[in-house]
Structure 1
Amino acid sequence: MNIIHSAVKRVVKKSLIVALGCAAMLSTTAHASEKVYRLKLAETWGPNFPIFGDATKNMAAMAEKMSNGRLKIRIDSANKHKAPLGIFDMVKSGQYDMGHSGSYYWKGKVPNTLYFTSMPFGMTPAEQYAWFYHGGGMDLMEQVYAPHNLLSFPGGNSDIQMGGWFQKEINTVDDLKGLKMRIPGFAGEILAEVGAKPTNIAPGELYTSLERNTIDALEWVGPSLDLRMGFHKIAPYYYTGWHEPGSELQFLVNKRTFERLPEDLQEILRVAMRTAAYDMYTQATHASGKNWSTIQETYPDIKVKDFPPAVLKALRDANDRLLAQHAEKDEQAKAIQQSQADYLKQVRSWTNISHRAYLNSQAQ
């Protein structure tokens, strides 16, 4: 009987040890799963900047909620970090874990980054989103950013942008010669090709630059954001767009930071960025429609113009020449251009028979 009792005691003791070990393991696992990851994001925009700034706030809030508080993202606006056009370097170096800006701002550092915002005479937002997620655009973007320890994700579309605010009317190509204009990206190169003097200026300096005649014209976004900037008070001509038919912002992520996150938090961050980007697109469309009505009703003296056909032809010809030059010098640029051109040719045939046909039918 004592033998049986001793055996039972040994079994109970062993089971207790195993149970305690399992409990300790579960406790450790639970503790690890509750670890809070804190990231810092720097944005090009000022504090509480509408639409663009809403995208970062929405993304951070979604990431925190979906992760049950395990992923927290602090947002520093341009007034905090003092480098609105320094996002690329700050995220690359690890000073910040994430950034929100526009890919074409970095063309001076990495020329092929400009293809991932919007290209003149290129894709609409719907077409470009399809290219990113289903036509190979994300893979090409990853190839461009990978050497810089960066990941780039679509960060919100402003919809087609207006051609800009001008202090004088543009009737011929000669009117563009010597014109000092704030316009970033490939469009700036095109305008330089036809004799203009493009420059890039941070958002917070645009109004003052135009008011003081440091520049003669500028493009910003469209009614969604232009109205609050007050450009209509100092530039009477508002031209329709050609240069940014689907302007996509970006979320930049330090690659090492991303890889240190658990897999579930990586996926949560991806979903939060993608959802916030789409939400920004719908918000921008809503705001443009609302503000365009205000412009028509409240500021009837604003002269809304299309660029003359001869000017658009000169811009398109310059676009074609410059693209060819970039492709000739850079195999990666050539591959991106070919991907975009092939996809545009395919998807635009559908856009024409669907959206364009519908809009034409409503105009009759």
Structure 2
Amino acid sequence: MLSLIRRYPYLLGFCILSAAASGPGQTYFISLIIPLLRADLELSRTAVAALYSIGTVLSACMVPLLGKALDRQPLRLVSGTAVLGVVAGLVTLGASTGASTLLAAFVLLRFFGQSGQSLQATTTAARHFSKQRGKALGITSIGWPLAEMALPFIIALLIKSLGWRYSLFAFAAIYGLTILASTQSLLMLTPTEAGSQRAVKQNKATRSWTVAEVFQDWRAYLFLATTFAPPFMLTGIFFHQGTLASLKGWSSAAIPTGFFAFGLCRGLSSLAVGPIIDRLTAKALFGFQLIPSLAASLILAYGNHPLTAVAAFGLFGLTIGLGGPIRGALWAEVYGVENLGAINGFGAAWAVFSTAISPFIFGVALDGGISWEGLMLSQFALAATCLVLGRIGSRAATPAAVQPASS
């Protein structure tokens, strides 16, 4: 793995930085601002949650367009646009005066941040590395836990010094200058044959599937079902973390400690799974990444000790850490890389959609009298079902070198 970093330091550095740059669009970052914003704008929890869900759904609808742009446009242009989009979202969030501006901020941050930066990170790594794709995706995945551990600390310090509005303006300036300059410089330093989207050509014996052909493949829908479960489960828990802590009787330190365990396990598992993917293929591993989430659901259902949060969040970190590289490599293995951005985009859109509906469904269930234990057991059933579906799809999948069946 170190040899791969030494050989492609700039390209892999870009992928790691892009993954980390998705932070301002992630739920863990935005949730730090929401309590202060809600009090200032005098909006109810339901109103803010609804706007957040609507913004996330709208961003999910646009993600396939971003994936297509990654297949057609220069990477420097797509990357620069994503950075500026996040900056615009941060400024709009800081300047929010009501529901309309808040919705616009959520759309910008979720689309350019959560979706845009993440999609370009995984697509670039999967596209440019074939023999060591698993390692490249594992290295790329370091960016997410790094941001999860650093950004809450940074924004908390800024809020303490400047207040929530000016802290967002200051963070937007810091983010725009550092991320834009760094990503553009890394791409300029990357050799042309590795850095150009159009330079990636597969062996003549390998045929990439078109998006239309993928939609005609029944196995793709099983892959999407498996992709749906982890973000749905985790976003619901993260969004309702206050309810979880209250029901379990945990102190204020329990959840942050759990987040640390989540980030640590996510980062370590992402690095560990890369070489395994290269040795066994993502096709052989797909679906099994949900096993830790099964155990985590049972722990959160029946465990009440504060260390329950550490164990459960750590296990969820394993699922996310293993799932990212496996999922990213699977699309390339099965469907090829020429249209990987568009194909990856539809998968990402489905995952983003799951994060949009999860907080609402969790809230309705809890308000409707379903116990936390019942909710976690439902999650267990969902994860188990998706694991089986994922294994069925991956066992039936053929490598990209095999021509897709004509309809």
**TM-score normalised to structure 1 length:** 0.26
Question: Quick one: higher RCO (CA 8 Å, sep 6+), 1 or 2?
Answer: 2
**TM-score normalised to structure 2 length:** 0.24
Task: Flag the structure with higher helix content.
Answer: 2
Q: Higher Cα Rg: structure 1 or 2?
A: 1
Task: Flag the structure with higher strand content.
Answer: 1
